[in-house]
Chain A
Amino acid sequence: MKLIKKHIPLAIVVVTGLFTVASYYIPNKTSVDYLEMINKWENIVSAFAFLLGLISLFYSHFSKISRRTDGWGYSLFVFIGFAAMVVPAVLMHGKQMEAGQVTSLGWAFRSIYNPLSATMFAVLAFYIVSTAYRSFRIKSGQALVLFVAAFILILGKVPLGQIVWDKALGWTHYGVDQVIEWIMSVPAVAGKRGIMIGISIGTVVTSLKIIFGIERQYMGKD
């Protein structure tokens, strides 16, 4: 039983991992064929991974409804929202346009999913402003550097800010857009590149640990 439960899955990770690494460096036909096959498989397997999220969302809201917990009525709207997308999709075979006309699926995207998803993220604009007011403290040299960089970026990205800059600092003969260009292509590159190199080392180490079966938390307990 241990063979089926543990050793074969570990063998899968070692074999697919090593073969995939090798296929990057070996440009022959076998390696290309292998990669083609495994790419197709991967695309299908990861589509099924979506079901995990779907099932757990449905399960938690279904149990809220069946146990009549506080606010269970709202959970009904999860299913209503789901049906509002899937029913028109089935009727229209997944087509959003037909003969130059928006179908009911295209309509559902525009009237329901699009405004909801867009507004959820737009709300964050309000919080970033109130947080900037309350928590952006210039207390140290480092915070000052952060503030100056942010200030120049926020000011210089809009025309009105550029006018303000020209009025106040026009005598320097440097436009704010030139200063932004320099920040973005010199000191910010250095900062980000340091982070990038650091992360790449971490990624490679973790991935190798996964391939060799040292890191196997994702497999759960025995």
Chain B
Amino acid sequence: MSETWMIAGVWIAAGLTIFLFSFLYKDNPFFKIAEHLYLGAGMGWWFQVYLYNIWIPKVWDPLAHAPHDWGVLIPAVLGLSLVTQFIPKISWVSRYGFTFLMGYGAGLVVPASLATDFMSQIVGTIKPFSALGSMSAFSIFNALLIAVGVISVLFYFFFSVEHKGAVKKVSNFGIYFLMVYFGAAFGNTVMARFSLLYGRFDELNAAASAHNFYATQIILAAMVLYFLVHGMIGKKPSAEEAH
């Protein structure tokens, strides 16, 4: 692509970014356009990835070119059966595809989650105690805290026992561990969201350079002008406020 196209790309990217951000001030047609473009472009991108990575090389090529592999007809038909969902009269055909997907998925998940999220986690909680002799007092305290924490959280989730007396105390203790986890998760979520915003701002800053003909500044100014003009023309008695 030529340099002109690349700069045009920067303008489009900066414009779409600012259009989506403009919703923070007020809903407007530019936001709606960008939002709908997002839906279409996302689907379009996935469609072409599926087309050139799976449907053509994994389904079409083995059927159309020698050496033929007619075996792929089975998953292809099972896959296509899913689409009958949209035709009420024969929607039951889609069950063939769905049951295949569900059977496979469930079959894979049972042993894997037993081994990884159940057994390994129990072992991981108990194992530190096997080296008790060589552990510092602080490590022993930590290992104990994890063990007590896991057990009390499990008590909290143990719905079949009525939460009364000692059970209630233990499960209340478990809540504190959950709160630490949720607090840590919230703290990290703030950082993650800010990182994403930083990413957009960083690109807007790059688009603001002279090389890109000040794309960010010009589009931003145009948006402000739009809101000013729109505000003056369509002034209603009760100003709309975002809450």
Chain A interface residues toward B at CB < 8 A: 5-6, 8-10, 12-21, 23-25, 37-38, 40-57, 59, 61, 71, 74-86, 89-90, 93-94, 101-126, 128-129, 132, 141-143, 145-154, 157, 182-201, 203-204, 206-208, 210-211, 218-220, 222
Closest beta carbon of chain B to A90's beta carbon, Å: 8
Closest beta carbon of chain A to B110's beta carbon, Å: 5
Given A18-B107, A200-B114, are A57 and B153 also a contact pair (CB < 8 Å)? no
Partner of A147, one of B33, B71, B105, B183: B183
Whether A210 lies near B104 (C-beta < 8 A) is no
Decide yes or no whether B70 CB sits under 8 A from chain A. no
Whether A197 lies near B110 (C-beta < 8 A) is no
Whether B75 lies near A44 (C-beta < 8 A) is yes
Residue of A nearest to B74 (CB): A41
Residue of B8, B51, B91, B100 with most chain A CB atoms under a 10 A cut-off: B100
Decide yes or no whether B95 CB sits under 8 A from chain A. yes
Residues in chain A near residue B189, CB distance under 8 A: 128
Chain B residues 79-101 with CB under 8 Å of chain A are 79-80, 82-83, 85-86, 91-92, 95-101
Residue of B nearest to A95 (CB): B52
Given A82-B43, A198-B157, A200-B113, are A101 and B79 also a contact pair (CB < 8 Å)? no
Whether A142 lies near B113 (C-beta < 8 A) is no
Other than the known A9-B96, A82-B44, what 4 A-B pairs have Cβ atoms closer than 8 Å? A43-B58, A117-B42, A125-B197, A219-B95
Interface size on B, residues (CB 8 A): 119
Residue of A115, A118, A122 with most chain B CB atoms under a 10 A cut-off: A115
Partner of A219, one of B23, B99, B148: B99
Whether A194 lies near B157 (C-beta < 8 A) is yes
Docked complex Cα distance between A79 and B193 (Å): 30
Whether B157 lies near A20 (C-beta < 8 A) is no
Chain B residues 133-186 with CB under 8 Å of chain A are 142, 145-150, 152-154, 156-157, 174-184, 186
Whether B191 lies near A196 (C-beta < 8 A) is no
Closest beta carbon of chain B to A199's beta carbon, Å: 7
Residue of B nearest to A132 (CB): B190
Closest beta carbon of chain A to B25's beta carbon, Å: 11
Docked complex Cα distance between A86 and B34 (Å): 18
Decide yes or no whether B226 CB sits under 8 A from chain A. no
Whether A110 lies near B99 (C-beta < 8 A) is no
Decide yes or no whether B196 CB sits under 8 A from chain A. yes
Residues in chain B near residue A25, CB distance under 8 A: 111
Closest beta carbon of chain B to A124's beta carbon, Å: 5
- Taking chain B's interface residues, is the majority helix, strand, or loop, or is none over half, making it mixed? helix
Residue of A nearest to B49 (CB): A94
Residues in chain A near residue B52, CB distance under 8 A: 89, 93-94
Closest beta carbon of chain A to B145's beta carbon, Å: 6
Decide yes or no whether B213 CB sits under 8 A from chain A. no
Given A115-B203, A142-B175, A190-B145, are A75 and B36 also a contact pair (CB < 8 Å)? yes
Whether B191 lies near A154 (C-beta < 8 A) is yes
Decide yes or no whether B41 CB sits under 8 A from chain A. yes
Partner of A112, one of B41, B43, B182, B194: B41
Closest beta carbon of chain B to A22's beta carbon, Å: 8
Q: Could you mark each residue 23-64 of chain B with 1 if its beta carbon is under 8 Å from any beta carbon of chain A, else 0?
A: 110000100111111111111111111111111001100000
Whether A42 lies near B43 (C-beta < 8 A) is no
Given A41-B74, A157-B191, A208-B110, are A47 and B47 also a contact pair (CB < 8 Å)? no
Whether A51 lies near B83 (C-beta < 8 A) is yes
Residue of B nearest to A84 (CB): B41
Docked complex Cα distance between A59 and B150 (Å): 48
Whether A119 lies near B183 (C-beta < 8 A) is no
Residues in chain A near residue B197, CB distance under 8 A: 122, 125-126
Whether A20 lies near B39 (C-beta < 8 A) is no
Partner of B48, one of A17, A57, A89: A89
Whether A184 lies near B184 (C-beta < 8 A) is yes
Residues in chain B near residue A196, CB distance under 8 A: 117, 121
Question: Could you list some 12 contacts between A and B, CB below 8 A?
Answer: A12-B103, A17-B103, A21-B111, A44-B72, A57-B39, A71-B32, A74-B36, A77-B36, A81-B42, A116-B20, A157-B187, A200-B113
Decide yes or no whether B208 CB sits under 8 A from chain A. no
Partner of B104, one of A10, A20, A82, A110: A20
